Amino acid sequence: MEQITTLEQFNDITSSDKAVIIKFFAGWCPDCTRMDMFIDPIIEEYSQYTWHSINRDDFPELAEKYQVMGIPSLLIFKNGEKLAHLHSANAKSPAQVTEFLDAQV
């Protein structure tokens, strides 16, 4: 999962005509670390998406704009528009993440 480090990079990635998933995280977040331990097989299984991550502490204006109140959060974008949002409260297990992704098809 490639980390986004600039606002320009975020805008370029999210404006793609292919659906992309952006994981909002923070270095101090234990649930983010936990997600990192189970996310790799999910990324492989859902390879129709391009996966990226962004540190919400580095981009608080993006977190506010896209209503990322808790982390980790997974947001799906296409053509610059947020299509779906898995909030942190529902992103605690592999089953919750795959259920969210299956609902997007």
Whether the CB-CB separation of 92 and 31 falls below 8 Å is answered with: yes
SS3 content of the chain, % helix, strand, coil (to 5): 40, 25, 35
What letter would DSSP give residue 83?
E
Angle ∠(5,33,52) on CA atoms, nearest 5: 35
Whether the CB-CB separation of 90 and 39 falls below 8 Å is answered with: no
Beta-bridge partner residues of 20: 50, 77
Residues known to be catalytic: 29, 32
